[in-house]
Structure 1
Amino acid sequence: MTGVGRTRADRGSEERGIGARELRRLSTSLVRRQVVEAPGWDSHSPLLRGTMRFADLQPGLRLRLADVEDRYDMVTRAELPAGVKIALVIDGEARVSYGDQTVALGPSAPSTGALVNLPEATSFVRQGRAGGHERTLILSLAPDWLSRHGYPLATDRRVRVTRWSPSPGLQRLATRLFDARLTVAPDPAHHLQLSGFALAMAGEAFTTLSEQAEKAERGGCIAGEERRPTDRRLQRLMALVDSGEVHRLSQEDVARHVGMSLSSLQRRFRACYGESLGRFLRRRRLETGLAALRNEGVSVEAAAILAGYSSAANFATAFKREFGARPGDLRRKPTAVSSA
């Protein structure tokens, strides 16, 4: 464990404005190849307003605290190394993507926290909007730390996202870290406070993962980012989803393809996945469109067709409701501004 008296912990930014160079410095131990796309940015002004701090707590255990406001509409892209990320948003909202998994986190989102299993280096995208604010804690667990504590990484190379929410006690501790200490000089006591919080945060997130796995097994599913069904009919459904064929089918057609009545399929799906079939299919269709916009730079009309929408306007409406931005805002631009 890093010695308290000679720690590298709590390297941070106390400036109210955080520029591209400072943002890169604060993120260098957490991400690789970071690029910022901000059409309205002049390349010199701060990108963020607020405070951010990074702490090395143990070998392979790092915590980042950010209390920031976006000054521009911007998209940040990077590569995350293998390991586990545990995110907690206690105020505002964060919209991020890990590989092809997009999640919104915060008090007004479906959950405030997420545990993300990254078996290998994975692309990461953060979508920021001018005036948007978030108070976020990100705990990074390296493979060696996980191995020492009995949590091996998954071996199937799939990004897995498990949603979780903190206990009231952990929520209060998180708020206290920001209110009392984020803008003052670090000291050994604060280092111990951060270490204790990080371990408690990891403990709650991993406990949620274990509880969901047990519940899923009882319901005939294996827990994961999208729980893997043991029911062969649901396996046929997921094969339709993975192939993209499901985008052309109504729910009634899907039920016929897997050999179930629609009502039975809907009940079975909710029992296994914890959400409605319609909500799941709509999100997957929109994620297909998002991936085409972000990775290939296709037109909004083409993305709508790929997502199974006959109307680009209907696609744009559903897209904004799901991701909080218009399709054109997240479309890959021909050029990007490097944060170097």
Structure 2
Amino acid sequence: MCNSQVIKHSNLTDLVGPSVQLVENESVPDQLFHGSLTWSQLRSGLSLHCSDCRELNNFTTQTAVDPHLALLIFLEGRSDVDFDDHRVSLGCRNAGNGRPIAEGVALALTEPVLFRRRARRGAQIRKVCVSLTPEWFETTGADYAVACKLAGLDRQHLATRHWQPSTRLLALVEQMLSPPDYNPLLQHLYLESRALEIASEAMSLASGQPAPTQRGLRPQEHQRIRRTLELLQSDTAADWSLERIAREVGVNVSTLQRQFQASQGMSLFEYQRRHKLLQAREALERQGVSVSHAAWQAGYSSAANFSTAFKRAFGLTPKQARARI
């Protein structure tokens, strides 16, 4: 999700779903966004939309949407949207120093609408949206109207409530925008668990109930972790010591370890080890390298120790992974 790319008109539907279209009566630019833009159906009635991108042109997208409760957290930027003929602007306000003030929005749709969103060239958007349908609430034994009321909303169509995200919620959103580099199954489980945490925390805040007190990270600390993830995922820091990584991002080792654990839910060492194991698995399954070569690539001097760690992580042996090609 955190891989940066130029998103073109031709691959928009692959990233955000086949129902999203550009408005036909507008000139259609080829390049739409630069960054990361995803939409995931995590479970029937539970979906996740993440944006961490810059808009490259002026254009309008539209899609038909069914009733649902939308919980949006903006870290940066605003969205100008229409629900049928009802126009609203959602997103961050600017502080006196020019920095964006994070904004939470709960919005209830009680009937189907045509949703339109207008992009503006140069706008930077960083946000996460968790959507929950009435059917999803029914599967959990809850009632949609009760859930909307819990989120501080009445039963009126397009009822909206704005609130200030907690530090814990901001940390969860940052994790969604820069998730660990898991395999597809673990990635899905990770995103679903975090989406439900976001929904729970967001509904608590929207209702005015006090959120649990937890240590969160400040915006500059999240930026530091994003830089650390870039170094690790690009393999720039593959052979670096913890001291060098910490020096590169401007803190000491103990501070980096504490902040990384708070952001990613695992230590930096655990993240590096899993990242290398994932690379080794890809080499086994796609390139057919030997188990000993994959062990070396993952940083193991012993093929036996590599096999043990590999099976613990993925539930199959390196030989079984290699046999898949």
Give the TM-score of the pair, scaled to structure 1. Answer: 0.50
Say yes or no: does 1:16 pair with 2:5.
Answer: yes
Cα distance in 1, alignment partners of residues 11 and 184 from structure 2? 22
The answer for the alignment partner of 1:203 in structure 2 is 200
Q: How many residues align?
A: 195
Give, as a single letter, the amino acid of the residue that structure 1 aligns with 2:49: R
Evaluate the alpha carbon distance shift between residue 66 and residue 111 of structure 1 in structure 2; reply closer, same or farther with a 3 A threshold.
closer
Query: Secondary structure of the equivalent of 2:178?
Result: helix
Cα distance in 2, alignment partners of residues 193 and 147 from structure 1? 23
Structure with the bigger RCO (C-alpha within 8 Å, sep 6+) is 1
Contact 1:86–1:116 (Cα < 8 Å) also in 2: yes
For structure 2, list consecutive stretches of 5 or more residues without a partner in the other structure.
95-99, 149-153, 210-325
Query: Secondary structure of the equivalent of 2:196?
Result: helix
- C-alpha deviation, 1:82, in angstroms: 1.3
Cα distance in 1, alignment partners of residues 206 and 7 from structure 2? 35
Contact 1:17–1:49 (Cα < 8 Å) also in 2: yes
Contact 1:104–1:110 (Cα < 8 Å) also in 2: no
Pairing 1:115-194 to 2, within 5 Å after superposition = 115-149=106-140, 150-153=142-145, 158-181=157-180, 184=181, 186-194=183-191
Cα distance in 2, alignment partners of residues 195 and 207 from structure 1? 18
Cα distance in 1, alignment partners of residues 173 and 92 from structure 2? 13
Deviations 1:136-163 (A, max 9, x none): 2111212211223314147966211111
The answer for the alignment partner of 1:224 in structure 2 is none
Give, as a single letter, the amino acid of the residue that structure 1 aligns with 2:197: A
- C-alpha deviation, 1:50, in angstroms: 1.3
The answer for the alignment partner of 1:83 in structure 2 is 68
Query: Secondary structure of the equivalent of 2:82?
Result: strand
Contact 1:118–1:159 (Cα < 8 Å) also in 2: yes
Contact 1:173–1:197 (Cα < 8 Å) also in 2: yes
- C-alpha deviation, 1:172, in angstroms: 1.5
Give the TM-score of the pair, scaled to structure 2. Answer: 0.52
- The partner residue of 1:36 within 9, 23, 28 is 23
For structure 1, list consecutive stretches of 5 or more residues without a partner in the other structure.
1-11, 213-340
Evaluate the alpha carbon distance shift between residue 68 and residue 130 of structure 1 in structure 2; reply closer, same or farther with a 3 A threshold.
same
The answer for the alignment partner of 2:34 in structure 1 is 49
Cα distance in 2, alignment partners of residues 40 and 26 from structure 1? 21
Query: Secondary structure of the equivalent of 2:207?
Result: helix
Contact 1:40–1:73 (Cα < 8 Å) also in 2: no
Contact 1:16–1:49 (Cα < 8 Å) also in 2: yes
